[in-house]
Chain A
Amino acid sequence: MDTNGATTSSAAGGGSTSKSSSKKHSRKPVYSRFTQQELPACKPILTPGLVISTFTIIGIIFIPLGLVSLSASEKVVEIVDRYDESCVPSDYSNDKLKFIQNPSINKSCVRTLTVPKLMKSPVFIYYQLDNYYQNHRRYVKSRSDKQLRSVSDEKSTKDCSPEDKTVDGPIVPCGLVAWSLFNDTYVFSVNSKTIEVNKHDIAWKSDKEHKFGSNVYPKNFQSGGLIGGAKLNSSVPLSKQEDLMVWMRTAALPTFRKLYGKIEQDLQANEKIQVVIQNNYNTYSFSGKKKLVLSTTSWIGGKNDFLGIAYIIVGGLCLFLAVCFILLYVIKPRPLGDPSYLSWNRSPAGHPN
C-alpha cells in the first residue's frame, strides 16, 4: 500500500505540473495527494469488534507465554544461603563490626547446603549483596575507564578521588569501585571431595577484550591507609582479573547478585555440599545481607517467577476486559452512531471545560 500510494501521488503530481505549466504563471497549487492531504491512509477505529479481538489476542498470546516462562523458571534449581549473620562467632554477635574489622581474627566459616533436586552442570555460583548501593552516583563515577584500558592513560585518575593515587603514584585500578572489591571466598566440597570452581569466563567478553587492558597491571592497589576489599595479584594483567571485571560492572539496584564462578559438574539431589567461606567483606556497617547462591539456568535465565506471573496477570486482565466488552455488547447493544450519546448532550460534568 505504501509504495502504491507514493507512486500514484508522484504520477498525479507530475501530470498536473505539465498541465499548469502550459497555463501561464498560474498560481494554482499543484495537485498531489500529499499537498492536498489525501494520501492513502488506514484509519483504524476502536470498534467493539477490534477492541474485543485485540484484548482476546493479547490474552491468548500472553497466558501461554507466561505459563511457558513460569515453567522454565520452575525448572531452575536454586540454593540460597544467607551467611552474614551465622558466620559471625557468637561472642561477636553484638559487635559484628569489630569482628569484621579485626584482621587478626580467623574469618572462615563452614556452611552446609543441601541440594534439593538434581542440578545439572553448569551450576552458577553467585554472591548476593543487599542494601549495597553500587549505583550511588559517587560510587559509579569513581572509576577511570581510560586507565583500565591502556597503560599510557595510567595517570588519568581525575574522577577516582579519593582512591586516585598514593605517594608512590597513581593507583591502578583507581576509584572506589575497584577499591571496594568483594573479597569473600568460597570453597565447595561434597563428601570431603573438593568441587572445582571454574572462575574463568565469568566476566563479559567485551570487558576482557576491550575494557580491561592486557598490559595493564595493578599498581599501588590497596596500599593506602584504609583497605577496602580484595587485593589483586599485581603480576596478573587486569584483563585476566575476572573477579574485578564482574565487580566493576556496577549493579543496577541495591540488591544484586554477582557471578562468583561455575561448578561444571552435576550436583545430585540431597547431596550435602560443604562450603568453607572466608567471611571478609564488611556489610555489617551498613547492615547489608550476604547470601551465597547456587543456581542452574534455563533459557529464561535464573529462577524468575515474576515475568511468568506478570505475563499471566496481564493476559488475564486482557481476557477479562474482553469478556467485559462482550458482555456489555450482549447485554446492552447500542448503535454506536446514536446521536443521543453525543458527549455534550449528556451531563456537561462529564467533560468539564
Chain B
Amino acid sequence: MARIRKRSIQLSKLCSFACCRSSSQDEHAQIGQKGYSRVVYCNEPDSQEQIRLRYRGNYVSTTKYTAVNFIPKSLFEQFRRVANIYFLVVACVSFSPLAPYSAPSIILPLVVVIGATMAKEGVEDWRRNLQDIEANNRKVEVYDKSSCSFRQTKWKDLRVGDLVKVCKDEYFPADLLLLSSSYEDVVCYVETMNLDGETNLKLKHALNVTSFYSSAESLKEFRAVIKCEDPNEHLYSFIGTLYFDCQQYSLSPQQILLRDSKLKNTEYIFGVVIFTGHDTKVMQNATDPPSKRTKIERRMDRIIYVLFSTLILVSFIGSLFFGIETNNDLSGGNYTRWYLRPDKTTVFFDPRRPAVAAFLHCLTGLMLYGYLIPISLYVSIEICKVLQSIFINQDQAMYDEEMDRPAHARTSNLNEELGQVHTILSDKTGTLTCNSMEFVKCSIAGTLYGRGMTEVEIALARKRGEQLTEQAPIDASESKKSIKGFNFRDERIMDGKWVSEPQSDVIQKFFRVLATCHTAVPEVMGPDEIMYEAESPDEAAFVIAAREVGFEFFARNQTSIKLRELDPTSGIRVDRVYELLHVLEFSSARKRMSVIVKNPENQLLLLAKGADSVIFERLSKEGRAYEERTKEHIEKYSEAGLRTMAVAYRELDNDEYKTWEQEFLKAKTSVSADRDVLMDELACQIERDLILLGATAVEDKLQKGVPGCIDKLARAGIGIWVLTGDKRGTAINIGYACSLLRHGMKQIVITLELPEILAQEKEGDKEAIAEASLNSIKLQILKAKSQVTEESSTEFGLIIDGKSLTYAMDKNLVNSFMDLAMRCATVICCRSSPKQKAVITRLVKSVTGRTTLAIGDGANDVGMLQEADIGVGISGVEGMQAVMASDFAIAQFRFLERLLLVHGHWCYRRISMMICYFFYKNITFGFTLFWFEAYTSFSGQPAYNDWYMSCYNVFFTSLPVIALGVFDQDVSARLCLKHPLLYQEGVRNILFNWPRILGWMFNGLLSSIIIYFLTTNSITGPAFRKDGQVADYSVLGVTMYTCVVWTVNCQMALSINYFTWIQHLFIWGSIAFWYIFLVVYGSIPPTLSTTAYKVLVEACAPSILYWLTTLLVVIAALLPLLSYRAFQIRFRPMEHDRIQIQRRRPESTEYDATQRRLSESSEARTSSELPSEVRIRIDNLKASSKRKN
C-alpha cells in the first residue's frame, strides 16, 4: 500500500472533494437522440466524419458588433428609441419643401448625437474585442499526430477532437474530456473560480481506460469516439458515452474540464476537446445580465410621450389657424394677400385647397416644434451616468485597503436608482459577517475556555446596560500577532499550559480530534508557517486552533495524517503519525463528519465532530459525563452568536472494525443506485456510542462598521431584510449584533416549529401537514397584523423561517404577509434557500412597487441580485460570482452607507434635476417658436436662423446641464451622512414627481411667454438704434435667441447649489460661446449665413436697446423661479434646504443642538433604539406615503 508515487496524494479517497456523483444509467440511454447528438472523434479532428459535423471553432467573440455590422446594428439600436426615430423621420422629410429649416441644420445635430452614442458603444465594444483577442490568442499545446509531439497553437485554432496538453496553473481552452494526468491515478485539481466563484479545489478524475495515454508517444494510437449531449449551460451535468476499444464507458461531469477553469496542483493533463468556442458551457452561460431600467428613466419616457402629445397638439392648433388664414387669402374671388401670389402657389399654400395645405402644414409644424423634444437628452444622460460611475469608482472612502479593492459600478445606468432604495435585502454570511471564522471559545470536559468577548456579546451586554470591563487593550498588547481565524485567549491552555489542567487528557483528545478530523490540506509555506486549504472556513479555524494550542497538523497523504504535538510527559514536541483508514464525509444531511484512524499506539479510533443535536443522540452511556454542562455551554455560545460544534470520539474494537470495513468497502464499490443510502447507513452503524469531549464555538465575525451602517440606513428610513440560511437563534443574535433588532423593538416570530405541527409531522401525512401549516401561518400572520396595528408607536421586527415562508408565499396569503412585513422595520428570514431569496426579492419588488436593493457576496445570492432593482455584490472571500452578477461591487458592507446616502442621493438628485431642466430649456425654446408663429399667420416660419437652432441643444445649453448631472451636490458628503433622513427625498421621489416636472414645464412656458412678448414689444416697431434703423426679422431673432440663451443658462445657475470653476466655465462659457458663434457665423459670406450676416457686429451690438432688452428679459424671466424658490425655502423648505441653511449657521438654533446630541448618542450606541424624534419622523413619512399609495 505504501508505494511511493510521484507527488500523488490520492485525495480522491476523501470523497468530500467529489462534488457530483455519476449520473444514473437511464440518462445515458438518451445518447444519440435529440439533444444528445454530439459526436467527437477523438484525436481525429481532420477526419472526414468530424469535418462533416461542422462544429464551431474555438474562436470566441463577446462583442456586440463586428466590424461589418457595427454601423447598421448600432444604428438600429439607436433608432429603437422613439425620440430618435422621430428625429430621423424629420431629417428625411427635411429635404422636402415641407421643412421649415434647411436639411443640413436638422441633420447635423442628429449626426452629432447619434455619433456620440455610437462612439461610446464602439469604444465599449472595442474594449471587449481586446479581451477577446487576448483570450483567442492564448497559447495551448496541441497534439500533432505527424510528429507525435505537442506544438503550440492559439486557442482560437483548436478544433473539436483535438488532443491538448494543459499545464499547471493554465486555463482550459475549451471543454475537455480528461484522459490522463501527471498523477498515476489520473486525477487532477481544478479551480472553478471563473465559473461559480468557488475558490476551493475540485477533484476530477479520468476513466481508468484512458489512463495509459500519459505520454506523447502513446497518444499516437489513441482512437475513440465520444457521443454526448449538445451544448448547454448546465455547469454541473454532463451526459456522454465514450466508445473505446469496442467498449462503452459512461462519462460524467467528473471527467469534464470546463473552459476558463484552471488546472491546479497538477503538473499537466491530456484532454480531448469536446466543446469549443461558444459551445462551451461557460460561454453558453454567458448571457447578458438582465438589463435594468430605472424608475426615473421609465417616467422620463412618459414625459417624452407627454411632450409628443404637446407637440402634436401645438402643430394641430398651428395648422388649424394656418388653414383658416390660407382660406381667407381667397375671399370672394379676390386674393387678399396678393404679395404671396396665392393665384400661382404650390399645394402647401393653396387657398383653394386649404384643408390639404393645413394637413401638410401640420407636418411642417411637427418638425418646427420638434425642439420641444430634447434631442440630446439621452446622450447627455448617458454621458453623465458614465462620469458619475467614474466618481463612484474613484471614491477613496469606498476603497478597501485590506483587499485592495475600490468600489466598482459595473453598470452605469442605475446610478440614480441608488438614491431611491426603499428596501434592502441582504445576505448574511459574507455580507454582514466576514465569513472568516474565528475560533473563540471551547468547552472541554465541561469547562469553559476562551476569554474573548464576541461582538454579539458586547452588543448584548450594552443592551442590558451592563458596564463593560475594558479588556480589549489587554488583548491588543498581549497578542504578538493576530492570526487569521484564531481569536482564542486563555492562559490556561495556551503555550502548552494545558498540561497542568485537571482534565489534560480530555483536552489532548479534544484537540487531537480537531487536528485530525477534517479534510484540509496543509501547505508548508516556510519553516514555521503552515497554511491550510480547507473546504470551509470553519474547518480551517479548527485546524488553526489545534495548531496554535500545540497540535500542529503538518502533512497529509492518502493514508496518514502527521501531527507535531507536545508530549505531556517529556515536554518535547514529537511527530505522531495517524494512519488514516476512512473518512466519513460531512454532508448537510448527516451534519457530522468522522474519521477512522489508527494512532501510533495502534488503537483504532473514530473521531467525530458535528452538530450538537446529532452528536448528543449518538453518545454512549458512559460518554455522557459532560453532556449537561456542555449543552448549557452550547446554549450560551449560540446566544452569543457563535457557531457551535460538538466533538466526540470512540475507541473501536478491532473485530468490529474489520467486519464493518468489509461491508463498507463493498458498499463503496457497488454501482447500484442506492449506494449512497447504503453508505450512510453503514456510517451510522459505526458512528455510535461516542464519548463526548466538548464543544467548539466559532465566531462568524461581523464585518467592520456593520452595526453603524445599518443604524444609518435605518435612520434614512430604508427597510432592511436579512435573508439567511442560519438557524433562527443565530439569526436573531446577529440581528441584535448589527443593530437590526433594537432594544424596545417587538419581535414577531412566525414559525412552524410548533408542537401541533411537529406532532402532525410525526404522522407523516404530507397533505395534512401542508394544510395545518398553512392554517397555522395564516393565523400567525393575522395575529401579528392586529398586534402591529394596535401598537403603531413601537417598532417591530419580523422573524420568519424558510419553511414558514414557503407557506406565507402562498398566493392567498402573500398580500397580507407582505403587508405585515412592510410595517416592520426589520425582517429576518432565516433558513431560506437561494431560490427563496430570489422569490422574496421579486415579491418585495412587485408588492411594494418600490426600489429594492439586494446585497450579497456568494453564488447563492446571484438570483437575488439579478432579481432586485439593484444588485450589489460584495467582492469578498467567496469568489466573484456575486460580483459578476451585480450592478455595483463594493468590498465591505459598510460602504453601502456611502454608496446610497452620498452617491445615490447625489446621482438621484442630479439626474432628476437634469431631466427636469432639460424639459424646461426645450419648452422655453420651443414655445418662443410657437408664439412667433402666431404672428406669422402660422405659416411655419421659424423665428431664428436654422443654425442657431441646431446648435441650441448641442452647443449653447448642453455643457452646463452635463455639469449639473455630473458635479452638482446639494449638500456635502459629510452632511449627507450626518443627515440620513435626506435620503427620503429619493425614496419618496420628491425631486421627480409629476408636480415638480409639470412645475418645471410650466416655468418653461412662462419663460417663453416673458421672452417673446417682452422682446417683441421692446425691440420692434420704432427705430431700435440712434441711426433710425428698425429691427427686422433677423434682429428680432438674434435678440430673442440671446434672451433664451441667457435665461436658460441663468436659470441653471439659479437652480444649482454647487458652483465650482467647472460650473462657472460651462455656464458663462456657453453664453459667451453664443456671442462668439454669432460673430464667427456672421462673418462668413451672406449666401451661407443668410440672415445672420454681421447681425451682431453691425446691427445689434451698437444698439443700447438690444442690451437693455436682454437685461430686462433675463431678469424678468428669472423672477418667477427666484421668488418661488424664496417662498418655498421660507414656507416649505425641503430637507436639503434646511440642511444647507443649518450649515450656514452652525452655532445657532436649538435644533442643531438636539441634532448634535442625537449624533453623539448614536455614535455611542451600537444597538440602541432610534432616537424618538427620528422615529416619529419616519413614522410620519411612512404614514404619508401610505396615504398616497
Contacts and interface: CB of A to CB of B under 8 A. Distances in A.
Interface stretch (B25-33, B214-222, B706-714, B1096-1104): B1096-1104
Contact of A135 (B941, B1026, B1030): B941
B180 to A, nearest CB: 38
A69 B399 CA distance: 62
A40 B1060 contact: yes
A337 B1151 contact: yes
A69 B1105 CA distance: 9
Interface of B: 100, 334-341, 344-346, 348-349, 390-391, 393-396, 399, 401, 404-406, 906, 935-937, 939-941, 967, 969, 973, 984, 988-990, 993, 995, 1014, 1016-1018, 1020-1037, 1057-1064, 1085-1087, 1090, 1093-1094, 1098-1099, 1103-1105, 1108-1109, 1112, 1115-1116, 1119, 1122-1123, 1125-1126, 1129-1135, 1137-1138, 1140-1142, 1144-1145, 1148-1152, 1173, 1177, 1180-1181, 1184-1185, 1187-1188
A345 interface: yes
Contacts of B334: 97, 285
Contacts of B405: 27
17 contacts: A43-B1057, A45-B1137, A162-B344, A163-B341, A180-B338, A205-B1098, A250-B1033, A285-B335, A285-B338, A301-B1026, A302-B1028, A314-B1116, A337-B1145, A337-B1148, A343-B1134, A352-B1188, A353-B988
B1044 to A, nearest CB: 15
Given A28-B396, A307-B1108, A43 B1132 contact: no
A67 interface: no
A204 B1099 contact: yes
Given A257-B1021, A310-B1017, A353-B988, 4 more contacts: A27-B399, A133-B936, A205-B1098, A228-B339
B1060 A39 contact: yes
A286 B401 CA distance: 82
Given A137-B936, A204-B1029, A46 B391 contact: no
A285 B988 contact: no
A19 B346 CA distance: 74
Contact of B1035 (A252, A254, A262): A252
A342 B1177 contact: yes
A338 interface: yes
B988 A344 contact: yes
A36 B390 CA distance: 10
A237 interface: no
B715 to A, nearest CB: 14
B1028 A124 contact: yes
A9 B628 CA distance: 66
Interface in A191-240: 202, 204-206, 210-211, 226, 228
B903 to A, nearest CB: 9
B1112 A310 contact: yes
B1132 A44 contact: no
A342 B192 CA distance: 54
A181 to B, nearest CB: 10
Given A69-B1108, A297-B1026, A321-B1123, A45 B1033 contact: no
A109 to B, nearest CB: 21
A345 B1180 contact: yes
A344 B100 CA distance: 48
A176 B339 contact: yes
Contacts of B1130: 48, 325, 328, 336
A259 B1188 CA distance: 63
Given A135-B1033, A252-B1035, A353-B993, A295 B1023 contact: yes
Q: Give the size category of A's interface with B.
A: 35 or more
Nearest to A122: B1028
B1138 A342 contact: yes
A351 B995 contact: yes
Residue among B941, B1060, B1134, B1144 having the largest count of chain A Cβ atoms under 10 Å: B1060
B1093 A206 contact: yes
Contacts of B339: 132, 139, 176, 179-180, 228
A202 B1185 CA distance: 68
* A47, A78, A286: residue with the most chain B Cβ atoms closer than 10 Å: A286
A329 B1149 CA distance: 17
A71 interface: no
B1126 A51 contact: yes
Contact of B941 (A136, A228, A295): A136
A79 interface: no
Nearest to A50: B1126
Contacts of A254: 935-937
B1018 A44 contact: no
B1023 A124 contact: yes
A10 B238 CA distance: 57
A253 interface: yes
Nearest to A147: B1087
List 8 tightest A-B contacts by C-beta distance, closest first.
A302-B1022, A302-B1023, A252-B1036, A2-B1061, A124-B1028, A180-B339, A162-B344, A348-B1184
Contacts of B406: 27-29
A318 B1061 contact: no
Nearest to A123: B1028
A100 to B, nearest CB: 10
Contacts of A204: 1029, 1098-1099
Contact of B338 (A42, A286, A304): A286
B1059 A43 contact: yes
Given A46-B1125, A298-B1026, A335-B1151, A31 B396 contact: yes
Contacts of A256: 1020-1021, 1030, 1032
Contacts of B1108: 65, 69, 300, 307, 311
Q: Which of B393, B404, B984, B1022 has the most CB of A within 10 A?
A: B1022
B1104 A41 contact: no
A136 B404 contact: no
A42 B1061 CA distance: 9
Contacts of A146: 1087
Nearest to B906: A37
Contact of A41 (B395, B1037, B1058): B1058
Contact of A2 (B338, B1064, B1137): B1064
Contacts of A268: none
Interface in A304-353: 304, 306-307, 310-311, 314, 317-318, 321, 325, 328, 335-339, 341-346, 348, 350-353
Contacts of B1119: 314, 317-318
B1059 A252 contact: no
Most B-side CB within 10 Å, residue of A39, A163, A344: A344
A145 interface: yes
A258 interface: yes
The winner among B346, B967, B1119, B1130 for most chain A CB atoms within 10 A is: B1130
B395 A36 contact: yes
A351 B993 contact: yes
A27 B404 contact: yes
B4 to A, nearest CB: 41
Given A137-B936, A295-B1022, A336-B1129, A62 B1123 contact: no
Nearest to B364: A137
A336 B1133 contact: yes
A165 interface: no
Contacts of B338: 180, 228, 282, 285-286
B1094 to A, nearest CB: 4
Contacts of A348: 1184, 1187-1188
A300 B1027 CA distance: 10
Given A36-B395, A228-B339, A249 B1033 contact: yes
> Which of A162, A302, A335, A337 has the most CB atoms of chain B within a 10 A radius of its CB?
A337
A255 B1021 contact: yes
Contacts of B1025: 297, 301
Q: Which of A31, A139, A317 counts the most chain B CB atoms within 10 A?
A: A139
Contact of B936 (A29, A136, A298): A136
Contacts of A306: 1017-1018
